Amino acid sequence: MKINLAFAPTKSSTELNIFSCFNKTHEAKKGKKAEKTLVHTHWTEDVLESFEHAVASKHYKAELGETFSLTLMNGQSAIVVGLGDKSKVTKETLRRQIATVYKAASGKYEDATIHLDGFLIKGELEESLGAIAEALHMSSYVFDRHLSTKKTAKLQSITFLTSEKKTSAKKFEEAISEASKVGESITVARNFVNEAPNILNSEVYAKEIEKDAKTLKNVKVKVLGVPELKKEKMGMFLSVNAGSAHGARLVHLTYTPSKANSKTKHIALVGKGLTFDTGGYSLKPGASMMNMKFDMAGSATVYAAFRAAALLQLPVKISCYLGMTDNAVNEKATMPDSIVTARNGKTVEILNTDAEGRLVLGDVVNYACDNKPDALIDAATLTGAILVALGNEVCGLFSNNQKLADSLLKSAKSTNEYMWQLPIIDEHRNDMKAIVADLKNIGGSSFGGSAKGAAFIENFIEPGIAWAHLDIAGIGDSQGHLPYCSPKGASGLVIRTLVNYLKNV
Ligand code: BES
Ligand code: MN
Ligand code: ZN
């Protein structure tokens, strides 16, 4: 989609105009009921005239999400988007409302003009503009590469029209450009997550990431295959790959900013990249196995954040590690009761081959610790239990460092993504200890499954490294309640939180 910025109405006519409208509540006074009046001082005379000309407009209250369609005197169409009480409008209000209008308009109009006055929040002009642009990028996503009839939207060009002074142009252009870099990276992640597992296996996935990363400035890529993983003694990771027809891959990307110096912070991002999770010998029942192509969403999420950070040329060094394999069954697949040795020497009794994400991540986070990052963040579709705890809508956060946890929560808040911290306590840690090996990969009871998964991974974090674990098993999947996410497929969430974190680190 093409987004243009204009400071004066363009000569070429637009098909659709999008305006906002607020309302104001007047308290009940003696003998009079409370009433709401419309607030639209940002409209031009001709819009107001057309609106009032429409007989039914007298019923319009501009409640949040309430729209009103009209034809302007010049013959162009217009949609008025109700935003309710102006003082309550947030960036998320804008994202959701713009996404809803986009969906209603994308099949009907070829181009549209968003009249920004009345959409941008006072004191947060660029941020709200960025949120609107982000919402457009996220809403216009479709996964139609396997459809014989493509879902190409009619609406391909959107103009942002503002009466702000031309001096804002640079900042506005920057906000739009930043949103498209993040938006484009979200699309890359969603495409990976939505791709079928017979097409996107670990070998193909690694190659595709390598190809994409080659287009980025100041980025280096290294891919470790099975022989290298053996050399690295990643016994846990390899045990998951044992039953696979495809070789495991560890993609190691590094972004070094142009002006790096000794004060430059170094952040490590680690992602679970299970291109499919059958459960292994501890086979998942059919219904639970469905959609397990999305078990690589953690890796796609951290890669997208890494990619956006590189496109934005952020002044932070980032190492990104993606652990790729599927969890399949053949005669070589790891059997429950197997004991394997992790990269850091700890022995692990694999009691359930379906608790495989932690085996891959344990070895990969340990590898990531070698470079002594200032913080290490992993993202993984790790546990079904996080859905029980936090629902489909909230990302679970675990950490050994409250400062890091707080920074992530702050980033989630400022990008309006839901994230909630959960504890790792000694009782959880103790439940991951085995009798015949140092550790086992599942707890004695299935309660608190997400925290126990996190407690397991913690065993492979080297002392002194600040670490946070994001369990995205709920949030990585489609978010039907968000109009800027598809009702089915990859959500593309958490990427904005991570980019915000990397921007502020
Ligand atoms: N990939 C799954 C987690 C998952 C489950 C994601 C449901 C999305 C929806 C993970 O590998 C897994 O199977 N975890 C097990 C762990 C258990 C065996 C301790 C789970 O959650 O059941
Ligand atoms: Mn599993
Ligand atoms: Zn899994």
pLDDT for the residue 369: 99
- The 10s digit of each residue's pLDDT in 421-449 is 999 999 999 999 999 999 999 999 999 99
* DSSP annotation of 110: S
- For β-strands 35-39 and 67-71, DSSP reports them as unpaired
pLDDT band at 28 (very low <50, low <70, confident <90, very high): confident
pLDDT band of residue 257 (cuts 50, 70, 90) is very high
Per-residue pLDDT at 10: 76
Mean pLDDT in residue range 303-308:
99
User: Cα 497–503–504 angle (5° rounding)?
Assistant: 95
Please say if the pLDDT value at position 12 is more than 80. Answer: no
CA angle (441 as vertex; 384, 192 as ends), nearest 5: 50
Contacts of 302 (CB under 8 A, 6+ apart): 269, 270, 271, 320, 322, 377, 378, 379, 498
> pLDDT confidence of 1, banded at 50, 70, 90?
confident
Per-residue DSSP letter, 368:
H
Q: In what order do the strands lie in the sheet with 347-350?
A: 338-341, 347-350, 439-440
Ligand 1 atom having least distance to the Cα of 356? 11
Question: pLDDT: is 111 or 30 the higher one?
Answer: 111
- Which one of the listed residues 284, 346, 429, 503 is annotated catalytic? 284
- Give the pLDDT band of residue 29 (cuts 50, 70, 90): confident
What pLDDT score does 186 carry? 98
**383 CA to middle of ligand 1, Å?**
4
pLDDT given for residue 451 in this prediction: 98
Cβ neighbours for 311, distance < 8 A, ≥ 6 positions apart? 181, 184, 185, 216
The reported pLDDT for the residue numbered 487 is: 94
Lowest mean pLDDT among 24-33, 154-163, 282-291, 350-359: 24-33
What is the rounded CA–CA span in Å between residue 366 and residue 230?
14
Query: In angstroms, rounded to a whole number, what is the distance separating the alpha carbons of residues 266 and 406?
Result: 18
Q: How confident is the model at residue 34 (pLDDT cuts 50, 70, 90)?
A: confident
Q: What is the per-residue pLDDT across 406-426, written as a single tens digit (0 to 9) for each?
A: 999 999 999 999 999 999 999
DSSP state letters, 162-230: --S-GGGHHHHHHHHHHHHHHHHHHHHHHHHHHS-TTTS-HHHHHHHHHHHHTTSTTEEEEEE-HHHHH
Q: Given this model, what pLDDT does residue 327 score?
A: 99
Q: Whose CA is nearest to atom 6 of ligand 1?
A: 473
Q: 167: pLDDT confidence band, cut at 50, 70 and 90? A: confident
Q: What is the mean pLDDT of residues 233-241?
A: 99
Q: What is the pTM for the complete model shown? A: 0.98
pLDDT band, residue 155 (cuts 50/70/90)? very high
Amino acid identity at 229: L
CB 475 within 8 A of CB 384: no
Average pLDDT score over residue span 103-127: 97
Higher pLDDT, 10 or 58: 58
Inter-residue contact 68 to 57 (CB < 8 Å): yes
- What atom of ligand 1 comes closest to residue 352's alpha carbon? 18
CA–centroid distance, residue 283 to ligand 2 (Å)? 9
Q: 95, 96, 358, 496: which is the annotated catalytic residue?
A: 358
Mean pLDDT of 167-182: 96
Q: Give the number of the atom of ligand 1 that is nearest the alpha carbon of residue 295.
A: 1
pLDDT, tens digit, for every residue of 65-92? 999 999 999 999 999 999 999 999 999 9
Q: For the chain, first and last CA: distance in Å?
A: 31
Above 90 in pLDDT, residue 274?
yes
Alpha-carbon distances of 141 from 93, 300, 394, rounded to whole Å:
20, 16, 22
* Interatomic CA distance for residues 8 and 189, integer angstroms: 36
Q: Does domain 2-165 have CATH number 3.40.220.10?
A: yes
Longest CA–CA separation in the chain, Å = 84
Cα angle 161, 163, 164 (rounded to 5 degrees) comes to 110
Atom of ligand 1 nearest to the CA of 288: 7
**Has 307 been annotated as catalytic?**
no
Separation between Cα atoms, residue 355 and residue 154, nearest integer Å: 45
The 10s digit of each residue's pLDDT in 44-56 is: 999 999 999 999 9
Q: Which residues have C-beta atoms less than 6 Å from ligand 1? A: 277, 295, 352, 354-357, 381-385, 442, 449, 473
- Is a pLDDT exceeding 80 seen at residue 495? yes
**CA gap 128, 239 in Å, rounded:** 47
Identify the residue whose C-alpha is closest to ligand 1 atom 17.
Answer: 355
Residue spans per domain, the chain: 2-165, 181-504
Q: Is the pLDDT confidence value at 263 over 80?
A: yes
Q: Exposed e or buried b for every residue in 453-475, given b needs 16+ CB within 10 A?
A: bbbbbbbbbeeebbbbbbbbbbb
pLDDT at 101 over 90: yes
Would you identify the CATH topology of the domain 181-504? Answer: Aminopeptidase (3.40.630)
Q: Which residue among 290, 291, 354 has the greatest number of ligand 1 atoms within 8 angstroms of its CB, and so is best to mutate?
A: 354
Scored b (16 or more CB within 10 A) or e, 6-31 reads: ebeeeeeebbbbbbbbbbeeeeeeee
Confidence of residue 147 (pLDDT cuts 50, 70, 90): very high
| pLDDT the model gives residue 316 | 98
Task: Give the side-chain half-sphere CA count within 13 A for 419.
Answer: 29
Distance CA 302, CA 310 (A): 12
pLDDT for 146: 98
- Tokens 């009079």, residue located: 32
Q: What does the pLDDT look like over 219-234, one tens digit per residue?
A: 999 999 999 999 999 9
Ligand at shortest distance from the CA of 350: 1
> What spacing in Å lies between the alpha carbon of 428 and ligand 2's midpoint?
19
**pLDDT digit string, tens, across residues 308-366:** 999 999 999 999 999 999 999 999 999 999 999 999 999 999 999 999 999 999 999 99
Mark whether 284 is an active-site residue.
yes
Q: What is the mean pLDDT of the chain?
A: 97
Helix (H, G, I), strand (E, B) or coil at 47: helix
